[in-house]
Amino acid sequence: MTSYGSVDRTQLVQAKEWLDALDVPYLAIPGNHDLGAYPWRGQQYPDSEHYHPGPWESTHFASVFCQPPLVTAVLGPMRVIGLALREGDPDGVLDALDRELDWSSMPTILFSHYPLAPVRAEGVLSSFGSEDYIPQSARRLLELVQAHPEIVLYAAGHVHAVSVSPLPRRPLQLTAGGLGPGPSQWWLYHVTDTELLYESRLGAGPLTFWDRFLQDDSISLQYHWEFHAGQRGLLAYRESLT
């Protein structure tokens, strides 16, 4: 949501004002620039990924959005869960997730910032994911995801690329672009009692991101969008749970 919100609280305040102005319900999930994920990265990038060593309630993100690190909503037949995860899980969000998943077998979309598996086989995105941000916490999160078949979709951001790929064993992982910095893309979900249809939607911003930072001919439009994965798909989740 921000570039420097982890250290500059006013950026998060502005982001919340924009979201509130939409006048629709939302769940806010911070990225590494909104909530520093790892003390080492906070030392390396103090202006953009500041790590706050205190409790959750005293972080800039929590103080502005006034929400716990795990947020939920029930939308008809589907449960939506959002996670704010830091390395070492000082906020106890993974235990809270385990309890929430045990509470109900309702089909669930799980949202968190970091992908749990690489989104590309080559190039910068082959290694850019959760490993340098929440390595131990991501491994435990993946174990929880794999242990709960009611999670029919894991949705993430972070990589500034559009991807559709299965996690090891299950379920499907989707990553989205970034509306402002690009590639300007988001996912739309249509939910029924038995199916979830996901469709890619184009935003109004730039279509690429990594080519601004890396002088590499392979960082192309197709690299950002992964056209071969298709831009829509259907999950029959009731069948997957039985």
Q: What is the extent of the structural domain holding 27? A: 1-66
| Residue 219 and residue 148 share a domain | yes
Tokens 């991501």 locate to 138
Instruction: Say whether both 57 and 165 belong to one domain.
Output: no
Other C-beta atoms within 10 Å of 206: how many? 16
151's enclosing H/E stretch is strand 151-156
Helical H segments across 114-180, by residue range: 135-147
Task: Indicate the pTM of the whole model.
Answer: 0.95
Residues 204 and 214 in one domain: yes
Contact (CB, 8 A) for 49 and 33: yes
**Pair 7, 103 in one domain:** no
Same domain flag for 43 and 121:
no
Segment 197-211 mean pLDDT: 93
My answer on whether 155 and 189 are in the same domain is yes
Backbone angles phi, psi at 158, to 5 degrees: 70, -45
Q: How confident is the model at residue 213 (pLDDT cuts 50, 70, 90)?
A: confident
| Domain endpoint, select from 66, 83, 110 | 66
Picking from 66, 89, 110, the residue at the C-terminal end of a domain is: 66
pLDDT confidence tier of residue 228, bands split at 50, 70 and 90: low
Q: What is d(CA 11, CA 116) in angstroms, rounded to the nearest whole number?
A: 27
83 shares a domain with 59:
no
Which residue type is seen at 170?
Answer: R
Q: What is the CATH number of the domain that holds 216?
A: 3.30.750.180
